[in-house]
Amino acid sequence: MIIQLDMQSELPIYSQLVYQIIEGIASGELQLGEALPSVRNLAADIGVNLHTVNKAYTLLKQDGYILIHRQKGVVVNPDGMPDLTDDFLKKQQRELRPIIAEAICRGMTKEELSAVLDQMYDDVKMGDNKE
């Protein structure tokens, strides 16, 4: 999996890393049980501080996307992905609401917004992470 970070983005690097790993899992590019690089190796490979990678891995572990074993290292959770919970749905609604509001203010119809979401869903599912 190729990780692409935007060092000029307002989005913190650890968040970009979290999102890209989750997208890799969603697209099937990363398989359940697949090993990920160690914190030190990934930090060196992408040229960021190891604490940045450690924070990303910690968040992914807390959410159930990865497991961290002392002997096996970091792996995509072999038991599957986290369940769809009320907390997750509330978080998604909280994050999407301002985006939807801005789309409405800019004149986007519900159908246009739905079409954009449908396309993005398909792109992620098929592993096309180009913006």
Whether residues 103 and 55 fall in one domain:
no
Is 120 a member of any domain? yes
SS3 breakdown of the chain: % helix, strand, coil, rounded to 5?
55, 10, 35
The SS3 call for residue 96 is helix
pTM higher than 0.95 = no
Is 2 a member of any domain? no
80 near 33, Cβ under 8 Å?
Answer: no
Nearest to 21 by CA among 44, 45, 69, 53: 53
The secondary element (H helix, E strand) that includes residue 93 is helix 86-105
Is 66 a member of any domain? yes
User: At 44, is the pLDDT very low, low, confident or very high (cuts 50, 70, 90)?
Assistant: very high
Domain limits for position 51: 13-76
Q: Average pLDDT, stretch 10-14?
A: 96
pLDDT at 130 over 60: no
Is 131 a member of any domain? no
Whether residues 72 and 90 fall in one domain:
no
Note the pLDDT tens digit of each residue in 86-126. Answer: 999 999 999 999 999 999 999 999 999 999 999 999 999 99
Residue 55 in tokens: 């924070």
